[in-house]
Amino acid sequence: MKIVENGGEQPTLQPLYGQVRDRLLRRIVQAEWSAGEALPNEFKLASQYNVSIGTVRRAVAALEQHGIVKRVQGRGTYVAGQGSQALIQKFEPLRLRDGNSFVPNFELVSVKREAPSIETATVLGLGPKEDVFAVTKLLYHEKEAVGVIHSFVPASLVPRLEEQLRYGQHLYPLLADYGLIVVRTEESWSADPAGDGLANLLGRTGECMVLNSRRVAYVLNNVPIEFRTSAFVPSSIQVVHVEQ
């Protein structure tokens, strides 16, 4: 089945609630409703999309599950904070050793379009001729390099990524501009010695231990949007559990 919106039809294999969810998400990303603003009530949305109240409720529940909207009993449904800082901090597993939030400064080392490695292509589900943008950033805390991040993003989904990153935008808010809101991540950690190349990049001499991270970030429908490998110096920061 398909829903009708603004007098037009688009065939799709998605269930009705998924179609409504994606259209609501698109309207949120396009800033039709700002953070903290109420969505139209369920009856009005059901009328707009020519679907049942139950379908609207399932769509809104899916958005709420991913932190995109929040329901307030007796008042309605509101757009959650999807601003730049909220998206930057939402999946940040790092804290300073004193327990305070870790808000690093970034230096963009490089961003280039390239063919993905076999591992990257497999993780992101890319075809044989699909490129990625490879992004390398250094993280600083109080002028000290404390980490390095290597991110890989499908180039076809974010065609202007290189230009936008060079203007200083952060990755997740930038993805949201394309309608690609990160809703969850899978991340694993290990402690390992830093190789010479990594130690030099971080400005370390002699033996140096780092916390290595491997992350996959997903948008709605469990579509992988970013494959990331990172390394952090554990003397200044610690890893904490992130509720998603």
Query: At which residue do the structure tokens 């997903």 appear?
Result: 218
Could you read off the pLDDT of 32-81 as tens digits, one per residue?
887 778 999 999 999 999 999 999 999 999 888 877 888 888 888 988 76
Backbone φ and ψ of 184, nearest 5°: -160, 160
Structure tokens at 93: 């597993």
pLDDT at position 10: 46
- Give yes or no for residue 114 having a pLDDT over 80: yes
Higher-confidence position of 207 and 139 = 139
pTM: 0.73
* Overall average pLDDT of the 86-91 stretch: 69
For residue 16, what are the contacts with CB-CB under 8 A and spacing of at least 6? 1, 3, 51, 55
Confidence (pLDDT) at 125: 96
- Residues 154 and 227: their CA atoms lie apart, in Å, by 9
Residue 5 confidence (pLDDT) above 80:
no
d(CA 236, CA 224): 30
> What percent of the chain has pLDDT above 70?
88
Average pLDDT, the chain: 84
3-state per-residue secondary structure call for 97-108: CCCCECCCEEEE
pLDDT at 7: 42
Domains of the chain: 4-79 (1.10.10.10), 84-239 (3.40.1410.10)
Enter the DSSP assignment of 101: B
Give mean pLDDT, residues 183-187. 90
The fraction of the chain above a pLDDT of 90, given in percent, is 36
* Structure confidence at residue 28 (pLDDT): 81
- Residue that is written with structure tokens 């690609």 in the block: 180
Residue with tokens 């469990």: 222
Q: What whole-number distance in Å separates Cα of residue 114 and Cα of residue 22?
A: 30
pLDDT of 19 higher than 60: yes
| Angle at the Cα of 99 from the Cα atoms of 97 and 102, rounded to 5 degrees | 80
pLDDT tens digits along 133-184: 999 999 888 888 888 999 999 999 998 888 888 877 788 888 887 878 888 8
Cβ atoms of 162 and 112 closer than 8 Å: yes
